[in-house]
Chains A and B, each alone.
Chain A
């Protein structure tokens, strides 16, 4: 639209919704339907809701009891992580933000350096901060929970999935038969197994077949299992990007005398990743929602904590509140991710 004729937002809405009598009628009917559908929800969740108090006795009938969420907020966020140590996940989140936000402003070498440093240092730092040891009080992963755990699983499974997925995608395109076959077998195997089965096997079968005394942490097993499955999906997303590139790109690079790794690292992969970004974001959003599957092996992520809270006789029956609250958080995270990926797609050169 030409900027000169851009209308004020009110006028814009009027022109869109009420330009003709028929349009007006349709708009009004749709609006009425929306009000009819959402009014009870709004009345329940906001107008008749109870916000202040300590116990369920403070809650008025007929409305949402947000007192429940308030009383359990710490658990929804951190699980059973000891209150005195919650500065650690907070600090880690702060460090992650501090490491990522400057990437939006920095350019060139500085951006690459900071990005690499963050990518290498933060995951290790996170495990240390959350898990403890070396001067920090050790906190077992069974005490981790809630949103913190959901994000942890998603991010660490993603850290396994993205690099592995890229390698697998390259491997699948490789001219070396062994590498190609291994990649295809890996991808097809992990893509063909239901995630819930992978989590079960990782959590239940591994301890049965492993020698006594060799214990891999329950959470680590779930994260690795999820990471491997998502890596297979990621690989296919990246392969889509690689195949979308015109052949001339690689050929031109070869003609300039670039080797395989230089061609891949400098020419094909950056372009392929940009093309496959929407698909990869899609996989990552799916991953965030799939983290809830760890519930079947009783790792209490955000949804698990919500369900556990519902078993407290003091709050029994708060199903709507628990699911609305956790559902909203999942939606917010996924929506934010989708916006972020759109801004990444929009920015930067795309020429090839």
Chain B
């Protein structure tokens, strides 16, 4: 009760001192305090998904999801290397987060209603629009799922993918032969051997699978998915300020791409940009970092170390990697994709 009164009092004072957002108005954030005390961020990642989370030859964790952890560490602690990774399997990811062994999960986890409502976890935005799609030979000239009329598709029997694909084609009266195999690996091998015209899986998974084909360059992954499995960083209930930090670092990386801020031009942008949103984002104007209890160069540090969302995407799963994934739905909303951020105002 006393606690509630004092919080109300603090809020009232904050309103009196309108605009002067200072450290006094900050709600306590045990997670941020813990990160600062231990001097590192604890990030739960996937044990291994090509392009998203994997140890590289040097034994460093890398990938799109790992990049986000590094950006977050740079924003909170000023150093992208002050992050420790806990690889997590599908079975252990929720308990690891719930028991406080990690500060967040950044690991190819699909955002769903029931997870949000019943697991005590919040999703802090979307860093990858995953969705089931098809891989086909370039020579087939098919570019979208609706072009597959009369084709055959290899799938693993009984998988979600099989059901999704069958439903999707039936609904649209397309005659597509679904060829069942016992395992995903058998299905993709059969596709590679020419027994089917297409193979189906999530975009991210297909990118990894394509790299295993005999001549990856002969195949394209259709950009338009038939299912909707957005993925993003996850935090546990409670500690709203920490949740805001996670959410806005992700937004900041997306905003940086939209505003043309990259790891290479970030110094110049901070010093010379006339765009007010760029100046707020990089801490040249206003005190946006301080409002979250961070330093004002939080996003400057994150972008300098990791780059904007687009740079991270291209480096880990896109054209700069062996996966060569198209941006597709993961392009900015201004460029025909779904990737969106609210404004830094």
Contacts and interface: CB of A to CB of B under 8 A. Distances in A.
Interface in B51-83: 51, 53-57, 59
A316 B89 contact: no
A303 B285 CA distance: 51
A298 B90 CA distance: 10
Contacts of B48: 307-308, 310-311
The main secondary structure of chain B at its interface with chain A is loop
B84 interface: yes
Contacts of B208: 311, 313, 316
Interface string A291-303: 0000111101000
Interface stretch (B93-101, B154-162, B218-226): B93-101
A307 B86 CA distance: 16
Given A142-B86, A316-B322, A309 B92 contact: no
B49 interface: yes
B35 interface: no
Contact of A312 (B57, B84, B85): B57
A203 B53 CA distance: 22
B100 A212 contact: yes
B98 A297 contact: no
Nearest to B215: A61
B202 to A, nearest CB: 15
A316 B212 contact: yes
B118 interface: no
Contacts of B55: 75, 80, 305, 308-309, 311-312
A88 interface: no
Contacts of A212: 100
Most buried by A among B55, B91, B101, B317: B55
A207 B99 contact: yes
B57 A200 contact: no
Q: Count chain B CB atoms within 10 A of each CB in A61, A305, A317 and give the residue with the most.
A: A317
Contacts of A304: 47
A317 B211 contact: yes
Interface residues of A, number: 33
- Residue of B47, B53, B88, B317 most packed against chain A (CB within 10 A): B47
A317 B212 contact: yes
B92 A204 contact: yes
A308 to B, nearest CB: 5
A212 B85 CA distance: 20
A79 interface: yes
Contact of A308 (B87, B91, B211, B321): B87
B323 interface: yes
Nearest to A83: B59
A314 B323 CA distance: 9
A312 to B, nearest CB: 5
B56 A314 contact: yes
Contacts of B47: 295, 298, 300, 304, 307-308, 311
A77 B49 CA distance: 22
Contacts of A140: 84
Contact of A298 (B92, B99, B323): B92
Contact of B98 (A208, A296, A305): A208
Given A79-B59, A207-B99, A296-B92, A313 B51 contact: yes
Interface in A162-177: none
B54 A313 contact: yes
Given A79-B59, A312-B55, A312-B57, A208 B95 contact: yes
Interface in B88-124: 88-89, 91-92, 95-96, 98-101
Contact of A296 (B49, B86, B89, B96): B89
B211 A298 contact: no
A203 B51 contact: no
Interface in A267-292: none
Contact of A311 (B53, B88, B100): B53
Contact of B95 (A74, A80, A204, A295): A204
Contact of A207 (B56, B89, B101): B101
B207 to A, nearest CB: 8
Contacts of A297: 89, 92
A74 B29 CA distance: 40
Nearest to A205: B95
B274 interface: no
B125 interface: no
Contacts of B59: 74-75, 79-80
A70 B173 CA distance: 52
A313 B92 contact: no
B233 interface: no
A75 B61 CA distance: 12
Contacts of B50: 311-313, 316
A313 to B, nearest CB: 4
Contacts of B4: none
B57 A203 contact: no
Nearest to A311: B48
Nearest to A74: B59
A300 B99 contact: no
Contacts of A203: 92
A204 B93 CA distance: 10
B73 to A, nearest CB: 16
B172 interface: no
Nearest to A309: B55
Given A79-B59, A308-B54, A313 B88 contact: no
Interface string A317-332: 1000000000000000
Interface of A: 61, 71-72, 74-75, 79-80, 140, 142, 200, 203-205, 207-208, 212, 295-298, 300, 304-305, 307-314, 316-317
Given A311-B47, A316-B211, 10 more contacts: A140-B84, A205-B95, A208-B99, A295-B89, A298-B87, A298-B92, A308-B87, A312-B50, A316-B50, A316-B212
21 contacts: A61-B214, A75-B55, A75-B59, A140-B84, A142-B85, A204-B96, A205-B95, A208-B98, A295-B47, A296-B92, A298-B47, A304-B47, A308-B55, A309-B54, A311-B49, A311-B50, A311-B54, A313-B50, A313-B54, A313-B321, A316-B322
Interface of B: 47-51, 53-57, 59, 84-89, 91-92, 95-96, 98-101, 208, 211-212, 214, 317, 321-323
